[in-house]
Chains A and B, each alone.
Chain A
């Protein structure tokens, strides 16, 4: 143990020295280059490698002919002439042999458990068998790993080791003395040569390889050589452990799997980033925006990796603006959560209708929207508080106000009381999310967005609401308002709602909306809004003339199409026409952060890194895949990249998601169109359309639709799409299966849960059609086991 510690001291010091003077990965590479150049110069001039650290007292046999002859002895402990210090040449030679042996034993001990666990010979997880984790004393109360408790083991080992070391020390001080000091009766055997480094004599030469003194000498030299290699190897293992937090075997495997990126330079780059946290700036990370992504990244950075983190968020409010936000962000306050609560509220009307078919007497209760919204608001406020607590608990400093980036290392917080505060930080995380936008048409200011729709309480019972938009927000609100008893018009510019989803699903969602009483206006473009005499709003629109021929001459489409005008009178108009990233007015341009020209989203690389080295960005403001769980994934990956020493890239493939239209839509993997575009080879399309069992008695005229896409050459399931009750809950598990690279045969091997809708996914026996992939990818993306997330 003693030997090992001294090596680690040597190993760590140069690394830290470098890291203190260099900050970023790119710089590290340059620094490394300088170092190498310096070495070359030194070698040519014949001078010592670490001139500043040498004692200047070379041993007689170290004649300066080799760089290593100038020992690493900064404290000048060595004293060849006996004029000071306490380390003699005999001690140096002796201790080198002993260190060599410890190192060789050690390196064998490092490797054996990890390799054996990795190839499955011993039943431990490779992670637990890594050398620097084995022997870690488990926390009190956890299961006992050994025959006695670890504390007893420690003391037993300490006593035995002390005895052995003492005997060794005596033999060194008085060579040959051990054969006279009988203790166990074995000592004569170890009487040996009288040379304390080689005590055993013939006993350690059992195979009789060292027949002559010359051969013996050669063996001893070989031992020293191997031992020196082992010492270097131990040094390397320590360095690896510090940098990669993995064992030598895992490192070798990952190096072999990707030699270009998993090498010493890459590891150094990581460690530089990590140790940058020890620098003098006030915060390691300042996050602007406490939404899903910002909270996750900050919480993990502080709670799990110990970084000093502050998070800035606007004061709480249900409708967002430049002055109003709140911890929890869009998801909790103005998105997923309140939306789902409204879906629940609206679905009860379905239950009231369906009950009759099951023998229940007809009821027509009314809904008190104000009462519901008040209860909803209370729950949202509670959740907002929970998010604050989560942050507090993780040790994240929460600062209320508007965060503005002044420069790459300074964030200004403007509180609502007018006070201003500046934070110095090593890293800035932009997690400001997005906000609903209205199209620039006349009277757009009369319309509301989803923010207000979630607190809409002034439409009279049975009143009319027009929703403009075709995305998931539009169809979800259509279902919500229709279920709550309003008359809903859904105004869609294109031919179907839900662009980007599988075509057949889009059609079915359109049909279902109609069946539930929503008036769907397809190919309809709003042109202006006007207040009408009744206090409501007139929504003027254009549609292609019925029977009007499209003149498809040269121009691509509708310019020449004959249009006719129309008008919808309603109490409210909801624009669900898109969202844009919240990236203006927070100093990003001044700090030099690149934004996307069109969407104004923050441009980031796969590690969520902007072009400014100290600024990162995740979530909707980067406009990648605008979903809460994706922001969570990005936040988690970012925390690992920045502070976990483990650069991590979020994986955007096979992300399951749901649209809470009624009945809902669930989807994971490629749509039919995407599959054809990306993949080569045949694709089997399995389709199942059936009346859900509940509808057989309720009489509800709706069918559940499921579509599975299978890549025939690989049998891999590449997409699962459905519209039907509980679609959201159903696709989650399918998503896991797709992350396991599931094949159709594996789906089929699973027994169904009966009676359920989900069992259809494992009982699709014959393909509805076979289509040809027109893409280049020979096989679907293979997910590596373990994917993108680490346990935390």
Chain B
């Protein structure tokens, strides 16, 4: 009699189907002490609404923990399930959270977070939250050299930095001439000059030069 009831409960607990295949690292989230996302990378598809919920839930789980407790956390209900764990580190104002499955070594992922942060530190020269706020794209490119499609790609920092610098060089090369005026403008904008400046006519470069291919 009771057992019958238990059975029906079990059936309710059967997990719903997943949209995309499970990966070893399911998501990488960086958010600040207030839960504002600074970088989100999901290696399994969730729609935007769900992503925000996951960020929120993860923040709630992580933020209530003291700094001197362990860096592993089970029980995120939205992301993963029993096989998945949250592994995080807290640096000053930022939380770096990796959601990983059991195929990853817990201590290994902690090291990976460290590598990630140290790489950021090297690339941005004393990285702070502002760097992540304004250069989230660059942070993504850096992350892409560490983790690919949810799998650890490279853990050697020198190698990672070489790759990133190579790509930066390539980008600068491409920007070349065409970017000069844009840079000037952004410099002007950065000075926060009043809007009138918009009325000043700046010499325009022919489009041909701009779209020069390298």
Answer whether A and B are interacting partners. Answer: no
Q: Interface on A for B, CB 8 Å cutoff?
A: none
